[in-house]
Amino acid sequence: MSNPPPYQDRDPSINVPSTELVPAGVSKRPKFLGFVADAESAAVLHSAIDQALPQGGGMHVVDFRTTLNILSRMVTPEVLLVDLTGEDQPLNALMSLAETVEPGTTVLLVGGQRELSFYRAVVNGMGVAEYLAKPLTKAAVEQHFLPYIRGGADGGNPHRNGRLIAVTGPRGGTGTSTVAANLAWLVGHDLHRHALLLDSDLHTGTAALCLDAERGIGLMTALENPERVDGMLIERLAQPITDRVHLISGLEPLGRDISYSTAGGTSLIHLLRRRYKYVIADAGAKLRPFARDLLQMAHQRVMVLDPTILSIRNLERLNQLPGQDSQSPRTLLVLNQAGRPGGLNRDYMERTLGVKFDAVIPDLPRVVPKAEKYGDIAASIRGPFRNGIMDLARALSIEASVESVKTRAAA
């Protein structure tokens, strides 16, 4: 994608790029055009979506009124990004935009309004696909805007439903289940977001143990019989841990083979995403068919490494597994058991991998085992383990709900 043209004069007659702004009446539609009011936001958007537009798109630094003027003289693109910054009456401005935008255009919005009521008004009541408040971050743009620009698998509306996060590891024993379970608990309990933990290992999974819960029944039925997957089955499968944290797991006999159907896994995830804001899947390291499908369907992959050469070696192989179009292009990396005696140094691992870890959990041989032994949630205990899980939630751009913020402010 080309660099933003110089719109400093804010004059709609200046620098209108004829290769991108197609005159009205012409059938060809650009895939994407963006109009933002400041260069800083344009730079963030460029860094996040440039890879999705190899044939070029457009990101232009103009104010809202100039945007309207330009759009009135062209065929609107498949995906349009508009900035409401500077508008005293943003809802009225959005109504003016609606008169200009043609049917079939997906509208993404940025602006300065941070109120939940405004978000609900524009997304639920005015036909906007997604809204982000400034200042923008690359992670938020990748999560909320990039799937629309890529034209993801959810009919151009991928984030009306919840988000699937698949947690895996390059080998067994890295702490995948512990990280997935505690992340789900923290998202639901502390951040007040509806979260579901899904254990993909129906024979030897340990996610239920991490949450001091009993194994469920019926997951195998859903995976083997896609025609039986419906809302009633989900109600029976989901075991409540707290008001906002549920668990789906299984415990099948070791000698019982599972006739897994990809259609069953797909149907299950589709329904779960309609009910939960975050579906956190413990995909483990064995990469059975269901786990591989979870990694392929996930919007975000999280890789949990321990400080070993084997983790480094297998990471590259795991990164080669294909993912859906709406998947974040970057796998988040968690270093678990950092500083373990005999383990690799964190700095050495980061130099070898060429990337920084998104979250680091130190070696705590007494904290996690003790918590699981006595039925406690490790992330509920203040300290370095909880801090590491919270860092992962931040890297995933999971923000506390308004209710959670008000609760903490009142405390």
> What does 315-376 look like in DSSP terms, one character per residue?
HHHHHTS---TTS-SS-EEEEEEET-TTPPPHHHHHHHHTS--SEEEE--TTHHHHHHHTT-
Instruction: Please give the average per-residue pLDDT across 340-347, as a whole number.
Output: 96
**pLDDT for res 408:** 44
Residue type, 289: P
Please give the Cα distance from 164 to 62 (Å, whole number): 35
pLDDT in tens, 102-157: 766 889 999 999 888 888 778 766 778 889 999 999 888 988 888 888 874 343 44
Q: For the ranges 98-112, 169-183, 336-350, which has the lowest average pLDDT?
A: 98-112
pLDDT higher than 50, residue 403: no
- The residue out of 122, 150, 178 marking a domain boundary is 150
Task: Give yes or no: residues 279 and 389 share one domain.
Answer: yes
- The residue out of 87, 115, 150 marking a domain boundary is 150
Instruction: Please give the average per-residue pLDDT across 23-37, as a whole number.
Output: 71
Q: Does 13 map to a domain?
A: no
Domain that holds residue 86: 32-150
**pLDDT for res 232:** 66
Q: Does 5 map to a domain?
A: no
Q: Which residue has the higher pLDDT, 409 or 217?
A: 217
Task: Give yes or no: residues 171 and 239 share one domain.
Answer: yes
Task: Give yes or no: residues 207 and 322 share one domain.
Answer: yes
Please give the Cα distance from 377 to 16 (Å, whole number): 57
pLDDT higher than 80, residue 404: no
Task: Give yes or no: residues 63 and 172 share one domain.
Answer: no
pLDDT higher than 70, residue 12: no
**pLDDT for res 13:** 36
Q: Looking at the 3D structure of the chain, how many domains does it have?
A: 2
pLDDT in tens, 173-232: 999 999 999 999 999 999 989 899 999 988 888 888 888 888 777 788 888 888 877 776
- CATH code, domain with 387: 3.40.50.300
Task: Give yes or no: residues 122 and 246 share one domain.
Answer: no
Task: Give yes or no: residues 208 and 118 share one domain.
Answer: no
Q: Does 20 map to a domain?
A: no
Question: 296, 295, 328: which is closest to 396 by C-alpha?
Answer: 328
Task: Give yes or no: residues 115 and 167 share one domain.
Answer: no
**pLDDT for res 159:** 42
State the DSSP code for 230: S
Q: Does 146 map to a domain?
A: yes
- CATH code, domain with 92: 3.40.50.2300
Instruction: Please give the average per-residue pLDDT across 156-162, as a whole number.
Output: 54
pLDDT in tens, 236-277: 888 999 989 999 998 887 888 888 888 889 989 988 987 888
From the centroid of its chain, how far is CA 32?
21
Residue 319 CB neighbour total at 10 angstroms: 13
Task: Give yes or no: residues 387 and 276 share one domain.
Answer: yes
pLDDT higher than 70, residue 73: yes
Task: Give yes or no: residues 139 and 170 share one domain.
Answer: no
Residue 261 CB neighbour total at 10 angstroms: 19
Please give the Cα distance from 401 to 190 (Å, whole number): 9
From the centroid of its chain, how far is CA 182?
17
Mean pLDDT of the residues in the chain: 83
